[in-house]
A and B are shown apart, each in its own frame.
Chain A
């Protein structure tokens, strides 16, 4: 089983719609969780950390379900500029190393 799994997509979504995707992780001892976005041929950029109680940053909401070992990202009122690959990232229990999912590709269409 992969340590961090994501649906590769692509998710094709009309502008203004709401889209959500999940990521599952295998290490029950993980403590830190993140969503990054990566544009084509660019470096990953931190989108948001994911906290146990769930957190929101503008149109983006992240949630953590420890019992089922998954995290989710919800994007409301999607914009064309949201088109990117979204990477799910989870720490190993050593806390120095992060395990990266392969990403979910999102395409927002006008």
Chain B
């Protein structure tokens, strides 16, 4: 039981490049989330999903896209990377909307 896994662990992008951050969970959780964490700040919700085929915007969705074709996978797509997207990105999952969430190890992204 690996829990929540994320790839890559680190990435440096140039301005204008695109990439996909991968997230997979093996706990059969319906709810999945993408957050970003900037230094000294609380986590900000980018997108979330309550089940396969259903996604919705969080607090800071601009510049990102998601899809949820399976229960296990919830990839986050960055289009036209900007320096403001330099952050640590965490994926999380849970079995119910009001329950505690379980996190992957994060992806550290730098946009130069």
Contacts and interface: CB of A to CB of B under 8 A. Distances in A.
Contacts of B44: 100
Contacts of B50: 96
A96 B97 contact: yes
Contacts of B97: 95-96
Interface stretch (B61-69, B75-83, B98-106): B98-106
A102 B56 CA distance: 24
A49 B100 contact: yes
Q: Helix, strand, loop or mixed for chain A's interface?
A: loop
Contact of B106 (A43, A91, A96): A43
A98 interface: yes
Interface residues of B, number: 24
A49 B101 CA distance: 11
B98 A43 contact: no
B43 A100 contact: yes
19 contacts: A8-B40, A32-B99, A43-B90, A43-B103, A44-B43, A44-B103, A45-B103, A46-B101, A46-B102, A49-B100, A95-B98, A96-B31, A96-B50, A96-B56, A100-B44, A101-B42, A102-B40, A102-B41, A102-B42
